[in-house]
Amino acid sequence: VALLFYSSVLSGEAWVRALRAESPELDIRLLPDIGDPDEIDCVLSWRPPPGTFARLKNLRLVYGTGAGVDQLLADPELPPDVPIVRVVDDAQTDDMVAFVLAIVLGWHRKLDVIRAQQAAKLWSRPPFRSVRDVRVGVMGLGALGRATAERLAMVGFDVAGWNRSPRDIPGVEVHHGPDGLGAFLARTECLIVLLPLTDATRDILNADLFARLPPGAYLVSVGRGPHLVEADLLRALDQGQLSGATLDVFREEPLPQDHLFWTHPKITVTPHVASLASPESVAKQIVENLRRLYAGEPLLNQIDRVAGY
Protein backbone atom coordinates (compact mmCIF):
# COMPACT_ATOMS: atom_id res chain seq x y z
CA VAL A 1 0.00 0.00 0.00
CA ALA A 2 1.39 3.41 -0.92
CA LEU A 3 -0.08 6.33 0.94
CA LEU A 4 0.61 9.91 -0.03
CA PHE A 5 0.31 12.67 2.54
CA TYR A 6 -0.67 15.82 0.69
CA SER A 7 -1.60 19.12 2.26
CA SER A 8 -1.12 22.76 1.42
CA VAL A 9 -1.26 23.77 5.11
CA LEU A 10 -0.20 20.88 7.36
CA SER A 11 3.28 19.43 7.72
CA GLY A 12 3.32 15.68 7.17
CA GLU A 13 6.09 14.70 9.56
CA ALA A 14 3.92 13.99 12.61
CA TRP A 15 1.54 11.94 10.44
CA VAL A 16 4.40 9.91 8.99
CA ARG A 17 5.79 9.24 12.48
CA ALA A 18 2.43 8.15 13.84
CA LEU A 19 1.60 5.95 10.85
CA ARG A 20 5.05 4.29 10.86
CA ALA A 21 4.63 3.52 14.56
CA GLU A 22 1.29 1.88 13.80
CA SER A 23 2.30 0.08 10.62
CA PRO A 24 6.05 -0.02 9.85
CA GLU A 25 5.53 -1.67 6.45
CA LEU A 26 3.36 1.16 5.09
CA ASP A 27 4.91 2.92 2.09
CA ILE A 28 4.37 6.61 2.89
CA ARG A 29 5.20 9.31 0.39
CA LEU A 30 5.64 13.00 1.08
CA LEU A 31 6.08 15.98 -1.21
CA PRO A 32 8.13 16.73 -3.19
CA ASP A 33 9.35 13.17 -3.82
CA ILE A 34 6.20 11.16 -4.38
CA GLY A 35 7.84 8.53 -6.58
CA ASP A 36 5.70 6.90 -9.24
CA PRO A 37 2.23 8.49 -8.94
CA ASP A 38 0.67 5.34 -10.40
CA GLU A 39 1.65 3.47 -7.21
CA ILE A 40 -0.33 5.72 -4.88
CA ASP A 41 -3.42 3.98 -3.48
CA CYS A 42 -4.49 6.42 -0.81
CA VAL A 43 -4.21 10.15 -0.26
CA LEU A 44 -4.30 11.47 3.29
CA SER A 45 -5.04 15.14 3.01
CA TRP A 46 -6.23 18.45 4.35
CA ARG A 47 -6.73 21.20 1.77
CA PRO A 48 -4.91 19.40 -1.03
CA PRO A 49 -3.02 21.75 -3.33
CA PRO A 50 -4.61 22.15 -6.78
CA GLY A 51 -3.62 19.42 -9.20
CA THR A 52 -3.29 16.70 -6.52
CA PHE A 53 -5.82 14.26 -7.85
CA ALA A 54 -5.25 14.70 -11.57
CA ARG A 55 -1.83 13.01 -11.21
CA LEU A 56 -3.05 9.94 -9.32
CA LYS A 57 -4.59 7.49 -11.76
CA ASN A 58 -4.89 4.47 -9.44
CA LEU A 59 -6.28 6.12 -6.34
CA ARG A 60 -8.55 3.88 -4.22
CA LEU A 61 -9.17 5.99 -1.12
CA VAL A 62 -9.14 9.63 -0.06
CA TYR A 63 -8.69 10.18 3.67
CA GLY A 64 -9.40 13.55 5.25
CA THR A 65 -7.26 14.30 8.31
CA GLY A 66 -10.15 16.03 10.09
CA ALA A 67 -13.88 15.73 10.80
CA GLY A 68 -15.03 17.99 7.95
CA VAL A 69 -14.51 17.03 4.32
CA ASP A 70 -15.87 20.16 2.61
CA GLN A 71 -12.36 21.23 1.58
CA LEU A 72 -11.86 17.86 -0.17
CA LEU A 73 -15.25 17.81 -1.86
CA ALA A 74 -14.67 21.33 -3.19
CA ASP A 75 -11.79 20.02 -5.31
CA PRO A 76 -13.09 19.75 -8.91
CA GLU A 77 -10.52 17.05 -9.68
CA LEU A 78 -11.65 14.70 -6.90
CA PRO A 79 -12.28 11.38 -8.68
CA PRO A 80 -16.02 10.67 -8.64
CA ASP A 81 -15.99 7.02 -7.57
CA VAL A 82 -13.27 6.91 -4.93
CA PRO A 83 -14.55 6.52 -1.35
CA ILE A 84 -13.87 9.41 1.01
CA VAL A 85 -13.30 8.82 4.67
CA ARG A 86 -13.08 11.32 7.51
CA VAL A 87 -11.83 11.25 11.07
CA VAL A 88 -14.13 10.49 13.99
CA ASP A 89 -12.03 10.44 17.11
CA ASP A 90 -12.90 10.40 20.80
CA ALA A 91 -10.02 12.71 21.73
CA GLN A 92 -11.08 15.21 19.08
CA THR A 93 -14.63 15.06 20.40
CA ASP A 94 -13.44 15.65 23.98
CA ASP A 95 -11.44 18.65 22.81
CA MET A 96 -14.39 20.14 20.95
CA VAL A 97 -16.63 19.67 23.99
CA ALA A 98 -14.02 21.30 26.23
CA PHE A 99 -13.68 24.27 23.90
CA VAL A 100 -17.43 24.85 23.67
CA LEU A 101 -17.81 24.46 27.44
CA ALA A 102 -15.09 27.08 27.97
CA ILE A 103 -16.88 29.56 25.72
CA VAL A 104 -20.41 28.88 26.97
CA LEU A 105 -19.42 28.96 30.65
CA GLY A 106 -17.43 32.18 30.12
CA TRP A 107 -20.43 33.74 28.38
CA HIS A 108 -22.88 32.53 31.04
CA ARG A 109 -20.75 33.76 33.97
CA LYS A 110 -19.85 37.00 32.13
CA LEU A 111 -16.12 36.52 32.60
CA ASP A 112 -15.34 39.34 30.14
CA VAL A 113 -17.41 41.79 32.21
CA ILE A 114 -15.78 40.59 35.42
CA ARG A 115 -12.27 40.98 33.97
CA ALA A 116 -13.09 44.51 32.79
CA GLN A 117 -14.43 45.31 36.28
CA GLN A 118 -11.25 43.97 37.86
CA ALA A 119 -9.19 46.27 35.65
CA ALA A 120 -11.26 49.16 37.07
CA LYS A 121 -11.04 47.74 40.66
CA LEU A 122 -14.81 47.57 40.64
CA TRP A 123 -16.58 45.13 43.04
CA SER A 124 -19.90 44.59 41.31
CA ARG A 125 -21.86 41.39 40.94
CA PRO A 126 -23.39 40.78 37.50
CA PRO A 127 -27.06 39.68 37.66
CA PHE A 128 -27.10 36.02 38.71
CA ARG A 129 -28.90 33.28 36.80
CA SER A 130 -28.73 29.62 37.65
CA VAL A 131 -27.21 27.44 34.98
CA ARG A 132 -30.45 25.46 35.00
CA ASP A 133 -32.36 28.45 33.67
CA VAL A 134 -30.02 29.09 30.75
CA ARG A 135 -31.22 27.68 27.44
CA VAL A 136 -28.46 26.63 25.08
CA GLY A 137 -28.95 24.97 21.70
CA VAL A 138 -26.70 22.91 19.46
CA MET A 139 -27.20 22.82 15.67
CA GLY A 140 -25.93 19.53 14.26
CA LEU A 141 -26.04 16.46 16.51
CA GLY A 142 -23.36 14.34 14.88
CA ALA A 143 -20.21 13.00 16.50
CA LEU A 144 -19.24 16.40 17.89
CA GLY A 145 -22.62 18.09 18.38
CA ARG A 146 -24.23 15.21 20.23
CA ALA A 147 -21.38 14.92 22.75
CA THR A 148 -21.41 18.69 23.19
CA ALA A 149 -25.17 18.74 23.86
CA GLU A 150 -24.94 15.82 26.28
CA ARG A 151 -22.16 17.35 28.30
CA LEU A 152 -23.72 20.83 28.39
CA ALA A 153 -26.75 19.06 29.86
CA MET A 154 -24.52 17.29 32.40
CA VAL A 155 -23.23 20.69 33.54
CA GLY A 156 -26.85 21.68 34.16
CA PHE A 157 -27.80 23.87 31.19
CA ASP A 158 -31.27 23.56 29.68
CA VAL A 159 -30.20 22.05 26.35
CA ALA A 160 -31.92 21.58 23.01
CA GLY A 161 -30.53 20.35 19.73
CA TRP A 162 -31.47 20.61 16.09
CA ASN A 163 -30.58 18.01 13.49
CA ARG A 164 -31.53 16.84 10.00
CA SER A 165 -32.98 13.54 11.23
CA PRO A 166 -34.50 12.83 14.66
CA ARG A 167 -32.29 11.85 17.58
CA ASP A 168 -33.05 10.46 21.00
CA ILE A 169 -30.63 12.04 23.46
CA PRO A 170 -31.50 11.72 27.16
CA GLY A 171 -31.67 15.14 28.81
CA VAL A 172 -31.71 17.03 25.51
CA GLU A 173 -34.82 18.40 23.78
CA VAL A 174 -34.28 17.44 20.14
CA HIS A 175 -35.88 19.22 17.17
CA HIS A 176 -35.30 18.19 13.59
CA GLY A 177 -35.71 19.25 10.01
CA PRO A 178 -36.80 22.61 8.61
CA ASP A 179 -40.12 22.37 10.49
CA GLY A 180 -38.36 21.98 13.82
CA LEU A 181 -36.00 24.91 13.37
CA GLY A 182 -38.35 27.69 14.49
CA ALA A 183 -39.18 26.17 17.89
CA PHE A 184 -35.52 25.33 18.46
CA LEU A 185 -34.35 28.85 17.70
CA ALA A 186 -37.14 30.56 19.68
CA ARG A 187 -35.91 28.95 22.92
CA THR A 188 -32.17 29.22 22.33
CA GLU A 189 -30.25 31.97 24.16
CA CYS A 190 -26.84 30.60 23.24
CA LEU A 191 -26.54 28.98 19.82
CA ILE A 192 -23.68 26.56 19.13
CA VAL A 193 -23.18 25.58 15.51
CA LEU A 194 -21.62 22.19 14.80
CA LEU A 195 -23.07 21.49 11.37
CA PRO A 196 -20.98 20.27 8.45
CA LEU A 197 -20.62 22.63 5.49
CA THR A 198 -22.91 21.50 2.66
CA ASP A 199 -25.13 23.17 0.07
CA ALA A 200 -27.96 22.98 2.64
CA THR A 201 -26.01 24.64 5.46
CA ARG A 202 -23.99 27.27 3.59
CA ASP A 203 -25.17 30.76 4.70
CA ILE A 204 -27.55 29.21 7.25
CA LEU A 205 -26.48 31.75 9.90
CA ASN A 206 -28.20 34.71 8.31
CA ALA A 207 -30.49 37.63 9.24
CA ASP A 208 -33.61 35.50 9.04
CA LEU A 209 -32.21 32.92 11.46
CA PHE A 210 -30.89 35.56 13.87
CA ALA A 211 -34.35 37.21 13.93
CA ARG A 212 -35.87 33.92 15.13
CA LEU A 213 -33.60 33.78 18.20
CA PRO A 214 -34.60 35.59 21.40
CA PRO A 215 -33.25 39.18 21.37
CA GLY A 216 -29.74 39.34 22.82
CA ALA A 217 -28.84 35.73 21.99
CA TYR A 218 -25.16 34.68 21.79
CA LEU A 219 -23.58 32.80 18.87
CA VAL A 220 -20.78 30.22 19.03
CA SER A 221 -19.74 29.26 15.50
CA VAL A 222 -17.40 26.27 15.42
CA GLY A 223 -18.54 24.38 12.31
CA ARG A 224 -17.31 26.16 9.18
CA GLY A 225 -16.91 29.81 8.19
CA PRO A 226 -19.26 29.77 5.17
CA HIS A 227 -22.20 28.93 7.47
CA LEU A 228 -22.15 32.59 8.45
CA VAL A 229 -23.32 35.58 6.42
CA GLU A 230 -20.84 38.01 7.90
CA ALA A 231 -22.70 41.24 7.08
CA ASP A 232 -25.86 39.82 8.70
CA LEU A 233 -23.94 39.06 11.89
CA LEU A 234 -22.55 42.60 12.07
CA ARG A 235 -26.04 44.06 11.58
CA ALA A 236 -27.58 41.74 14.20
CA LEU A 237 -24.88 42.78 16.70
CA ASP A 238 -25.36 46.49 15.95
CA GLN A 239 -29.12 46.16 16.39
CA GLY A 240 -28.80 44.15 19.61
CA GLN A 241 -30.58 41.13 18.14
CA LEU A 242 -27.40 39.27 19.06
CA SER A 243 -25.39 40.29 22.12
CA GLY A 244 -22.12 38.76 20.97
CA ALA A 245 -20.39 35.95 19.15
CA THR A 246 -17.38 33.69 19.43
CA LEU A 247 -16.20 32.65 15.99
CA ASP A 248 -13.63 29.89 15.53
CA VAL A 249 -14.07 29.42 11.77
CA PHE A 250 -14.13 31.95 8.94
CA ARG A 251 -14.87 32.26 5.26
CA GLU A 252 -11.24 33.12 4.73
CA GLU A 253 -8.58 31.59 7.00
CA PRO A 254 -6.37 33.04 8.32
CA LEU A 255 -8.79 35.90 8.94
CA PRO A 256 -7.46 38.82 6.83
CA GLN A 257 -5.67 41.57 8.79
CA ASP A 258 -8.17 44.24 7.76
CA HIS A 259 -11.24 42.19 8.67
CA LEU A 260 -13.79 43.98 10.89
CA PHE A 261 -14.17 40.96 13.18
CA TRP A 262 -10.68 41.44 14.66
CA THR A 263 -11.59 44.64 16.47
CA HIS A 264 -15.35 44.27 16.96
CA PRO A 265 -16.11 44.72 20.68
CA LYS A 266 -18.82 42.04 20.64
CA ILE A 267 -16.87 39.41 18.69
CA THR A 268 -14.28 37.00 20.03
CA VAL A 269 -12.06 35.61 17.29
CA THR A 270 -10.37 32.25 17.92
CA PRO A 271 -8.04 30.97 15.17
CA HIS A 272 -9.72 27.64 14.25
CA VAL A 273 -8.50 25.99 17.43
CA ALA A 274 -11.61 24.31 18.79
CA SER A 275 -10.30 20.81 18.15
CA LEU A 276 -7.72 19.10 16.05
CA ALA A 277 -7.37 15.41 15.26
CA SER A 278 -3.94 14.32 16.47
CA PRO A 279 -1.96 11.93 14.25
CA GLU A 280 -1.13 9.67 17.23
CA SER A 281 -4.78 9.30 18.06
CA VAL A 282 -5.96 8.77 14.47
CA ALA A 283 -3.21 6.56 12.97
CA LYS A 284 -4.86 3.35 14.18
CA GLN A 285 -8.13 4.03 12.33
CA ILE A 286 -6.26 4.94 9.13
CA VAL A 287 -4.35 1.67 9.16
CA GLU A 288 -7.54 -0.24 9.99
CA ASN A 289 -9.34 1.42 7.07
CA LEU A 290 -6.52 0.54 4.67
CA ARG A 291 -6.80 -3.06 5.84
CA ARG A 292 -10.56 -2.96 5.26
CA LEU A 293 -10.09 -1.42 1.82
CA TYR A 294 -7.90 -4.32 0.68
CA ALA A 295 -10.06 -6.93 2.39
CA GLY A 296 -13.15 -5.53 0.65
CA GLU A 297 -14.80 -4.80 4.00
CA PRO A 298 -16.98 -1.74 4.74
CA LEU A 299 -14.91 1.33 5.61
CA LEU A 300 -15.15 3.19 8.88
CA ASN A 301 -16.46 6.77 8.75
CA GLN A 302 -17.02 6.87 5.01
CA ILE A 303 -18.91 9.99 4.00
CA ASP A 304 -21.95 10.19 1.75
CA ARG A 305 -20.79 12.19 -1.24
CA VAL A 306 -24.31 13.20 -2.24
CA ALA A 307 -25.14 14.55 1.25
CA GLY A 308 -21.67 16.12 1.43
CA TYR A 309 -20.72 14.85 4.91
Ligand X SMILES: NC(=O)c1ccc[n+]([C@@H]2O[C@H](COP(=O)([O-])OP(=O)(O)OC[C@H]3O[C@@H](n4cnc5c(N)ncnc54)[C@H](OP(=O)(O)O)[C@@H]3O)[C@@H](O)[C@H]2O)c1
Residues labelled as active-site residues: 224, 272
Alpha carbon 274 to chain centroid, angstroms: 8
CB of 128 to ligand X, least distance (A): 31
For residue 278, is it left (φ>0), alpha (ψ between -120 and 50) or beta? beta
On whether the CB atoms of residues 181 and 155 are closer than 8 A, the answer is no
CB of 172 to ligand X, least distance (A): 13
Q: How many residues bind ligand X (CB under 6 A)?
A: 30
- Is residue 246 part of the contact set for ligand X (CB under 6 A)? no
- Is residue 63 part of the contact set for ligand X (CB under 6 A)? no
For ligand X, which is the closer residue by CB, 62 or 144? 144
On whether the CB atoms of residues 296 and 81 are closer than 8 A, the answer is no
- In the chain, the amino acid numbered 141 is L
- Is residue 137 part of the contact set for ligand X (CB under 6 A)? no
Among 142, 226, 244, 279, binds ligand X (CB under 6 A): 142
Q: Find the residue with minimal CB distance to ligand X.
A: 142
Cβ-based neighbours of 81, under 8 Å, separated by 6 or more: none
Among 143, 169, 255, 283, binds ligand X (CB under 6 A): 143
Q: How many residues are present in the chain?
A: 309
CB of 188 to ligand X, least distance (A): 14
Among 212, 272, 292, 305, binds ligand X (CB under 6 A): 272
228 closest CA partner among 105, 96, 139:
139
User: Nearest 5°: phi and psi at 97?
Assistant: -60, -45
92 closest CA partner among 222, 184, 205, 212:
222
Among 12, 48, 64, 68, binds ligand X (CB under 6 A): 68
Helices H, strands E: what count in the chain?
A: 9, 12
For ligand X, which is the closer residue by CB, 108 or 146? 146
Among 65, 188, 275, 285, binds ligand X (CB under 6 A): 275
Can you give the binding site for ligand X, defined by CB under 6 A?
Answer: 66-68, 88, 96, 140-145, 163-165, 194-198, 200-201, 222-224, 248-249, 272, 274-275, 309
